[in-house]
Amino acid sequence: MTITASQVKELREITWVGMMECKEALVTTNWDMEKAIEELRKKGLAKAAKKADRETSEWYIKIDCEWSKCYVLSLTCETDFLAKSEWFQKLVSKLMQMLKDGKSIEEMEQIKQESVLELGENMTIKAAQVVEWSKIESYVHSNGKLAAVVVSKKSDTDSEKLKQVAMHITATNPEFLSTTDISVEAVEKEKAIQMEIMKNDPKMAGKPDVVLENILVWKMNKFKDEISLLEQAFVINPDLKVKQFIWEDNLEKFFRFSI
C-alpha cells in the first residue's frame, strides 16, 4: 500500500507533528492511522488530539427539556452561511417537533432529504435522541455547537448546579463519570504510552526503576482524573473538584454532544 499525501496531511492535522515524522509513523504502523497517532505520542511528539474537534463541518444542536425528558437534535450542513440562516433554524425546529411527536428517524430523514434537494447542500442528522430521567438538566453553548445533558440520581438535586455541571462538560469533554468507569484496557494502553514517553525522555535517563514506577503511578492517576467528570477541577471554581461542587452521589450519567 502506498501512503498518499492526503493521509500524511490528515495525520499532521490531527497531531500537529511535522510531515516527515507523520510519514515515518504511517510506514512504521503499516498505514494504520490510530496506531500512527499512538506511535507519535510514544515519541513525545503528539498529544491525544481528537480530529473530531477540528472538523470543518457546520452544525447546530438544539435541546428542549420538558419535565423529565430532554429532546436532543443535531443537524449538520456544509457552510456557515446556511447554519446561521433563518431557514436552517426553522428546519431544526421542524425536526425537533417531529422528534417530540414520536416520529421515526426515517420520517425525519425524508424531510431532511427534501431540504437537501431544495438547497443543493448536504445535511446530516447527527443526533435525534430522547433522554428521560426523574431529574435532568441541559446546557447548549451560545454557538449552538456544543451541548450536554446531565442526569441526577436524586429528584431534589439543585437544578442550577446541574446546569453548571452541564456547562462544565461542554468545556472539558470528560470521557467517564468516575475513575471506576475506566476500563482496564484503556488504563493499560495509556500506561504503555506513558512508559514509552519516559524511555524516550533524556531527562529520565539513568533514573532508578523505582523512581520511574512512582512517576508512572502519578501520571496514571492524573490521566484518570483528567478524563473523569467527578475528579476534574470545576471550571467555574478550579479550587473545587466537580464531585465537591455537586456531590458525587448526585450524578447518575451525562451526555455530551458535538460534531
Domain 55-132 fold is: Tetrahydropterin Synthase; Chain A (3.30.479)
pLDDT band at 198, cuts 50/70/90?
confident
Residue 199: band (very low, low, confident or very high) from pLDDT cuts 50, 70, 90: confident
pLDDT above 90 coverage of the chain, percent: 53
Residue 203, CA distances (Å) to 47, 100, 153, 197, 198 in order? 19, 58, 47, 11, 8
Q: pTM of the full predicted structure?
A: 0.72
∠ CA 11-16-22 to the nearest 5 degrees? Answer: 40
Residue 50 is predicted with a pLDDT of 44
Give the pLDDT score at 129. Answer: 94
Cell 446561521 identifies what position?
84
* Average pLDDT over every residue of 12-35: 84
Which of the residue ranges 39-48, 101-110, 237-246 would you say has the lowest mean pLDDT? 39-48
Superfamily per CATH, domain 5-52:
Ubiquitin-associated (UBA) domain (1.10.8.10)
Q: Strands, E, within the chain: which ranges?
A: 58-66, 69-77, 123-132, 135-140, 147-152, 251-257
Q: Which of 175, 158, 143 is nearest to 59 (CA)?
A: 143
With cell 443543493, the residue in question is 120
pLDDT band at 1 (very low <50, low <70, confident <90, very high): low
- Look at residue 5 in the predicted model and tell me its pLDDT: 78
- The confidence score (pLDDT) of residue 56 equals 31
Report the pLDDT value the prediction gives residue 55, as an integer from 0 to 100: 41
Average pLDDT over residues 33-54: 67
Query: Can you give the pLDDT at residue 33?
Result: 87
Locus of grid cell 470545576: 234
Tell me how far apart the alpha carbons of residues 152 and 251 are, in angstroms, rounded to a whole number.
4
What is the three-class DSSP state of 103?
coil
**Confidence (pLDDT) at 136:** 95
What integer is the mean pLDDT of 5-17? 78
Delimit the domains of the chain by residue range: 5-52, 55-132
Query: Who contacts 31 (Cβ-Cβ below 8 Å, separation ≥6)?
Result: 1, 3, 7
168-177: average pLDDT = 96
Name the band, by pLDDT with cuts 50, 70 and 90, for residue 49: very low
**What mean pLDDT is predicted for residues 79-106?**
93
Round to whole Å and give the CA distance between 256 and 170: 7
